[in-house]
Structure formats: structure tokens, C-alpha cells
Chains A and B, each alone.
Chain A
């Protein structure tokens, strides 16, 4: 987020707006997945804030946990967690996100990867079976019985090849499907995204080019393009994660290139890759390309030398 020069320990307006925009989807996640989801969100946010404070204390830097950036990272990471993972895993993810990815590279605004996604990626590669098999059925009761869901909609469609029916579209739109805590409620995420667009917290370039590319490619491949948009983490990633100003290009054409790149990678991973969901790895890979994209000088004619 843009640096607040006057007082670095006060949250910027953008940070507050992102948190507000995330709340409906997170709330629906808690509604669908019960106490477990709430616990994961609390543990993730708390450990992110704690790691930030611990690091800044030991590095003898001003402690800036009140700028809410660690809270935002924690909430974003909790929202891509499956609802039934053991509670120590988000703590490990928070360590990777805050200490390794964010603070060791210079803190807020200087991270080269999205911290929340990097934490998720570390967990997904390290504990792949636990991360894959911890999805539960929604609305299984407040004290979730812990019955594990056989497959998320993404897995059913892209790995098992089961085509969706009309009812699938509707439940996926409202989030009543197995999935990561904050990614299932597509409508809430889109509303949050519209709020961010109206308040000019994010620009339209990345989400629109990202989502349009996924739609276009899956449409060409005949893989239920509109269903692909509402399942998995695509909306959360395109609206809230790919638009992080520290890890996305600055110019508008850079943003379009970034979004299209993310979209191509998501479509490729979903349709041909070993993972059912490609959102996180697509954004992480494009994060790495941002310094290169930022070097593109635009479409102005270059002066002849």
C-alpha cells in the first residue's frame, strides 16, 4: 500500500478500505465453515501481527503493527486456507509471509512477492496432502463436525472432469460449496471489489484483464468459462491479491500485461497443471516478473539516436 509518510504507524486509507472490502467474504466464510474458520482467521491474523512486532523489536525498528498491514496480510492468507487444516499451519505460513517475504526484504511496500500468497505457497508445497484434504462441507453446523469434503468444485471440474449443472452455478455464486474459507462467496468478493473500484483504491486494469483472460482462454478450450470464474480463488486473487501496489506494475499498460499474464497462467495450470487451483502460483510467478514489466517504457515512439 502507498506509504504514509507523515506517520508510518497509522493505517493508510487504502489499507482500511481493503479490510472493509474483505469483511463480507470473510464473514460468509465463517458462516459457512463455522468455528474452525473463525479460529483459523484469528490465529492467522494474530500470528502475522505478532511476527511483525517480534521482528521489528529484535531488529530495533519502530513497531508499526498499528498500520494494519500485517492484519490485512493475515486476513488474506486466512481466506485462502482450507477450513480444516491444523491450527499450527497458519502460524508457519505467517512466519514465511511476514518474516521471510515481507520484513527480510525491507518491510511494507518493499516485498517482491505477495506475502499472503507466498505463505500459502510454502504451505501448499510443504504440506500438500494436508492442504488438499482439509476441505469441509459448508453449513455442517457451527461446531463443525470435521467431516471432510471429497472434492472442491475446482477439483471436480478440472481434475475429475465432472461438468457443472445449473444448480452448481447458483451455489458457487453464493459460496455454499467446499473450498478455502474466504474464496467461495463469489458475490461478496465482487461486491468488495466494486467498493474498492468506486473508492479508487484499486484500478480496473489488473482485475479486468486477469478475469477476462481466464474467461477467454477457458471459453476457447470449451471448459465452462463462466463457471471457471466463480469457483476457486480466482476472484479473491484477481481483485485483492494481484492488485497489491507493492507487487504489481505501476503503469497502466504494465498492469494490463500483468493481468493477462496472470490469466494465462491460471488457465494453463487449471486446465493442464497438476494443481487444481492455479491462482496463487500464477500471481506469485507474475510478481517476479514485475520489475521486468516496469522497465517497459510504454508505447511512445522512441527518439532516434
Chain B
């Protein structure tokens, strides 16, 4: 890996988007995306926790004993999640109310765990920063888009009342319920994959090939951790 690799940001947003490519962290994705603002808030909170904890893990990666790395990683992540939660409660109490338990659950967010264990433990702080920003932005973008569509179709508003569509526009109540989250997520994944295959050059154009030996092999370009996500990007 290069010393400083800016493409990690792009990779997190497009090629390895945690939600659209890997369908990770579906619980917050479906639960908080009733409105675009909620999705944005959840995404940014996760981005902040991810950035801070991945950076700290990367700095400490030489002193963390591998036998007890999981508790240490969770401890680090939970500390930052608590800080972010207090900050939200202090400055954005309405958003904190809307996101509820899912802010506290950032402590066990599977994307953050995966990035800490499979990337931050092995890479320099600089690259880790790029990776965390890319993954965090990819997650934020995914949540924002789902929330935008669900809010538009379900409540008939754009960005929390910035624009309210006229009464004649039908409000599809299912979109504000969990099934609507699945519908929108499915169609957005479809659109995302179509967009990526058509407009993005590079290796993403090739059909996915699972390298011999699976994730353990050197040919696998995806960072998939031990027993983590299948190598399907």
C-alpha cells in the first residue's frame, strides 16, 4: 500500500460503500432513515466516531495485544460513541430524540468494528484517516439518500419542511414504516450498482471475481477481516 493513498476516500464512498455494496449496518440504516435530516445526523455521528476511534486504534496498533484486541476496540469505540452522544444531547437535542437508542448503539456499529479491526490495526494513521473518512462519508451518503427518498414519498417534505409538497401529492405511509426502508434500499442498491458499472472506470467494471483461496489470499483487494464479510466486491 502506498504511503498516502487518497483513493481510499473514493473507495469507501463508491467501490466499497458499506451500505450499498456490502449491506452492512442495516439496523440503523432502516431504523433512522425516516427523514433525510435524521439520516444525515446518524451518518455524521457515525463518521465522527469512526474517524476518532480508527485514528486512535491506528496509533495504538503496535501496542494492542492481538489476544485482547476486540475488547480494546470496543472500549475505544464506545468511549467516542459516548462523547458524540453527549455532544448531540447538548447541542442537537431534537436530533438526539429522533435517533434515540441508535446513537448509543454506534458503540457496536459493525462498520466501525470492521474498519478498526481489518484496516486501522494494519495501516498508518494517515491512510486510516482517509479510509475512515471514505467509509463514513459513504455511510452518510447512503443514509441521506434513503432518508431523502423515504421522506419525499412518505411525508411529502424535502429536508424536514424546507419544501412541503402540495396536498395533492400522495403520502405513501408505507415509506415511513420499516418495509418502506427495505423497498427504498433495494431500489437504491439497484441504481447504485447500475451507476457504478456504467460510469466508473477501473476495476469496478470487471465482473466480481472471488480470488482463489478466498479472503486470505493476496489477490483479494478488499479488506475483509478474519471471518468477516465475504469477498464479493
- A binding-site residues for B, Cβ under 8 Å: 88, 92, 100, 104, 122, 125-128
Instruction: Give the residue among A88, A92, A125 with the most B Cβ atoms within 10 A.
Output: A125
Q: How far is the CA of A125 from the CA of B183 in the complex (A)?
A: 14
Q: Within 8 Å of chain A (Cβ to Cβ): is B233?
A: no
Alpha-carbon distance A127/B174, docked complex (angstroms): 9
Closest Cβ–Cβ distance, residue A211 to chain B (whole Å): 30
Chain A residues with Cβ below 8 Å from B72 are none
A100→B171 CA distance, assembly (Å) = 19
Closest CB in chain B relative to A212 CB, distance in Å? 32
A-B pair count, CB < 8 Å, reads 19
A122 adjacent to B174 (CB under 8 Å): yes
Whether A126 and B183, one on each chain, are in contact in the complex, defined by CB atoms closer than 8 angstroms, is no
Rounded to whole angstroms, the CA-CA distance of A132 and B177 in the bound complex is: 19
Contact digits for B172-205, partner A, Cβ 8 Å, 1 yes 0 no: 1111010000010010000000000000000000
For the complex formed, measure the closest distance between the CB of B44 and the CB atoms of chain A, giving whole angstroms.
30
> Which residues does chain B contribute within 8 Å of A125, judged by CB atoms?
173-174, 177
B100 contacts the other chain (CB 8 A): no
**A122 — which chain B residues lie within 8 A by C-beta?**
174
> B171 CB to closest chain A CB, in angstroms?
8
**B177→A127 contact, CB < 8 A:** no
Please report the C-alpha to C-alpha distance between residue A125 and residue B175 in the assembled complex, in whole angstroms.
10
A88 touches B170 (CB 8 A): yes
CB distance from B123 to the nearest CB of A (A): 39
Contacts of A88 in B (CB 8 A): 170
Interface of A (DSSP majority class):
helix
Task: Report whether B183 and A100 are in contact in the complex, using a CB–CB cutoff of 8 Å.
Answer: yes
Q: Residue of A at shortest CB range from B173?
A: A126
A127 to B169, CA, bound (A): 12
Report B167 CB to chain A, min CB distance, Å.
13
Looking at chain B's contact residues, the main secondary structure is: helix
How close is A131's CB to chain B, nearest CB, in angstroms? 11
CA distance A48 to B183 in the complex (A): 19
CB neighbours (8 Å) of B183 from chain A are: 100
Interface residues on B, range: under 10
Chain B residue at smallest Cβ distance from A99: B187
Query: CB-CB < 8 A to B170: which residues of A?
Result: 88, 92, 127
Least Cβ–Cβ distance between B155 and chain A, in angstroms: 12
Give residues of chain B (143-186) contacting chain A, Cβ–Cβ below 8 Å. 170-175, 177, 183, 186
Chain B residue with minimal CB distance to A125? B174
Taken together as a complex, chains A and B put the C-alpha atoms of A100 and B190 apart, in Å, by 13
17 pairs from A and B in contact (CB 8 Å cutoff): A88-B170, A92-B170, A100-B183, A104-B186, A122-B174, A125-B173, A125-B174, A125-B177, A126-B171, A126-B173, A126-B174, A126-B175, A127-B170, A127-B171, A127-B172, A127-B173, A128-B173
**B39 CB → nearest A CB, Å:** 21
Residue of A nearest to B172 (CB): A126
Residues of A within 8 A of B173 (CB): 125-128
Distance in angstroms between the alpha carbons of A127 and B172 in the assembled complex: 6
Q: Shortest CB–CB separation between residue B182 and chain A, in angstroms?
A: 10
Question: Chain A residue with minimal CB distance to B174?
Answer: A126
CA–CA, A122 and B175, complex, Å: 10
Residue from A88, A92, A127 whose CB has the most chain B CB atoms within 10 Å: A127
Give the Cβ gap from A113 to chain B, nearest Cβ, in Å. 12
A126-B173, A126-B174, A128-B173 known; 4 other A-B pairs, CB under 8 Å?
A126-B171, A126-B175, A127-B171, A127-B172
- Least Cβ–Cβ distance between B38 and chain A, in angstroms: 20
Most buried by B among A88, A122, A126: A126
Q: Which residues on the A side are within 8 Å of B171 (C-beta)?
A: 126-127
A126 CA / B180 CA spacing, docked (Å): 10
Assembled-state Cα–Cα distance A125/B176 (Å): 11
Chain B residues, Cβ within 8 Å of A127: 170-173
Question: A298–B183 Cα gap in the complex (Å)?
Answer: 37
Give the complex CA separation of A128 and B174 in angstroms. Answer: 10
A112 smallest CB distance to B (angstroms): 14
